[in-house]
């Protein structure tokens, strides 16, 4: 398996994104029906997974090579307008810097694709 065959998944605020070769991220949509899944037995889940034509069986070796990456954070000194920071804090207090980072990432991705 070469590097081009590997799918890179990163977690940002507990949401999964696929990282592309150019560094762009695509949000992965969770289509799981948790209530329906909770009602199934382990054997039913295994049988459905094996019957899924889109399912890719991964060997133990492939699982050992799989990775889940979190983007590296870099501390910066940044001056923001007080009302902007207060608004982000009001959206849930803790984690406001992560939310600001997510907004900046979306802006970066939108402008990276446009250029």
E strands present in the chain? 8-12, 15-19, 25-27, 68-69
All structural domains of the chain with their residue ranges: 1-72, 74-115
Q: Quote helix, strand, coil % in the chain, to nearest 5.
A: 45, 15, 40
- Percent of the chain at pLDDT > 90 equals 25
The pLDDT of residue 114 is: 61
pLDDT in tens, 38-90: 999 999 988 988 888 888 777 888 888 888 777 888 999 999 999 999 999 99
| DSSP class of 22 | T
Helix (H, G, I), strand (E, B) or coil at 24: coil
The whole-angstrom separation of Cα 22 and Cα 43 is 40
């Amino acid at each position: 398996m070469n590097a081009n065959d590997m799918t890179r998944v990163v977690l940002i605020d507990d949401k999964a994104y696929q990282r592309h070769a150019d560094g762009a991220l695509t949000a992965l949509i969770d289509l799981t029906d948790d209530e329906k899944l909770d009602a199934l037995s382990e054997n039913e889940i295994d049988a459905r997974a094996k019957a899924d034509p889109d399912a890719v069986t991964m060997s133990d070796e492939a699982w050992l090579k799989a990775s889940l990456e979190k983007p590296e954070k870099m501390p910066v000194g940044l001056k923001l307008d007080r009302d902007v920071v207060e608004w982000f804090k009001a959206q849930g207090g803790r984690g406001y810097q992560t939310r600001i980072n997510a907004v900046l990432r979306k802006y970066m991705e939108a402008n990276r694709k446009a250029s």
